[in-house]
Amino acid sequence: MEKPKYRWVEHLVDSEAKAMGTYLALLHLLLRYGFEDFRDRLSGDSILEEVGFQSLFTNYLAGKAVDAKQALEAAKEFVNNLFLYEKALKGGERYRILCEIELEFYESFVKAFKKYLRLNQVPEELKKRIKEFLSYMRFGDKKGAALVTPSGTFVFFNELDVIKEWEEKSGLQGEDAKRLIFYLKKSGLVVDHLTVGARPVLPSPCLSNEVIELLVKPFEKIERIGARTFLVIEGDKKLVKKCFKGLSQDVLDDVLSGVNNWLLLREVEGVQRLSKFDVEEMCVFAEYVEGRNLREYIAEKGGVLSEEEAVSLCLRIAKVLKRALDLGIVHRDLKPENVILSKKGEVVVVDWEFSAKLGTKPKALVGTIPYTPPEGREGLISKKYDVYSLGVMLHEMLTGKLPGTTLTLKNKDLEKLLERMIFLDPEKRAEIDEVIMSLSQLCSTISRLE
């Protein structure tokens, strides 16, 4: 069995009381401080004195004096130990560490919530509705709510908007909607008033199979579309499910990092939406984009595209990559199969589960060899990584072949740009900004000539 990455957390989750205290401290740090940087370390004592943290304990451990004492001690020790990491002073690094801990000890946190949730306070006639609502919330991108951790913790910007959307799908209306919100909070499934002005929170463990008990079957139909890939149909909603359980630990670690990165791209135009990450089964759920991939489109066009169309498509893909790169994220597996031309006319880059941050060195070598730059084969992540992959794709769009043969194009400016995109030496390779600027100019020039 793989040793935990954060072994110092193990004894802080060896009972439900301590696990609850540890998780509530983790949740408080995530939502109270977000990506805020600190000059000085926070102490467990300072956290325990905060109103928001005290409200969490009141929500889950009121009237349980012995358990509350254990939980408070665990929470205090968790915060103190966390800030022994110098990186924890940096908001982005602290967020990454906390998300990794949430994923690594997820089962312990679920057991804690099973013990301390007050589901007995939910009227019997509402229990089925509550379970249906939790099943509904297992999939992201809800109006009025946002996913804040890879394992599925949500913040409600407006819980009534969430319920309204749910009403349209379930027939729930008016008084029942307000009543549902009341009992979600009363039972502890949703945490209100985490801190002054904070939004209500639906913690990830409340969406676990154990809590909702699968009394409402979440999926209507599952269709295999690849070796580890499935099309999941829930009512009128379609999701792509990709499963990684059973692969090497290096690959699984990279998937966890990639999912964290993907989560940061949730507002980026042209990026496939991450819907849910099932940490228990190591499965990624993402929106299913109706359309065809670039490989299929090129085949439909006879194996090659006109210079005008190839340049236009390449420019649209480059802009998506640029938006991700502005957040320090590289796709790492860009290829024609991972670009979808949607029925709505959009260009969507999909499958970001192996994405990596600039300056990091992933553990596993992933990707598709013809599209992987030389530095990628050495495990290095450069800001020109995806430019090489895009250049190989542009070469295919224009010639129907991978690079390796003498390239002769009608437009010499395009030929020079393509050569710069697929330079093996990253120092000589074009940067994404140069690619976008050149492609924009070529779009105008080629369309006038043709």
Q: pLDDT digit string (tens) for 314-360?
A: 999 999 999 999 999 999 999 999 999 999 999 999 999 999 999 88
Would you identify the CATH topology of the domain 119-212?
A: Arc Repressor Mutant, subunit A (1.10.10)
Question: How is 389-446 classified by DSSP, letter by letter?
Answer: HHHHHHHHHHHSS-S-S----S-HHHHHHHHHHT-SSTTTSPPHHHHHHHHHHHHHHH
Q: Confidence class of residue 437 from pLDDT cuts 50, 70 and 90? A: very high
Q: Which CATH class is domain 291-449?
A: mainly alpha
Give, in order, the Cα–Cα distances in Å from 186 to each of 111, 123, 153, 438. 19, 11, 18, 58
Cα angle, residue 141 at apex, residues 286 and 212 outer, rounded to 5°: 85
Cα 299 to chain center, whole Å? Answer: 32
Q: What does the domain layout of the chain look like in residue ranges?
A: 7-116, 119-212, 221-287, 291-449
Mean pLDDT of the chain: 85
**Cβ atoms within 10 A of the Cβ of 424, count?**
11
197 pLDDT exceeds 70? no
Residue 154, token pair as written in the block: 């949500």
409 pLDDT exceeds 90? no
Residue of 121 and 296 predicted with greater confidence: 296
Sign of CA dihedral 52, 8, 358, 260: negative
279 pLDDT exceeds 70? yes
pLDDT number for residue 267: 87
Please list the residues that pair with 330 across neighbouring strands. Answer: 356
pLDDT number for residue 52: 65
Q: With contact defined as beta carbons under 8 Å apart, do 367 and 332 qualify? A: yes
pLDDT number for residue 345: 92
Please name the CATH architecture into which domain 221-287 falls.
Answer: 2-Layer Sandwich (3.30)
To the question of pTM greater than 0.95 for the whole model, the response is no
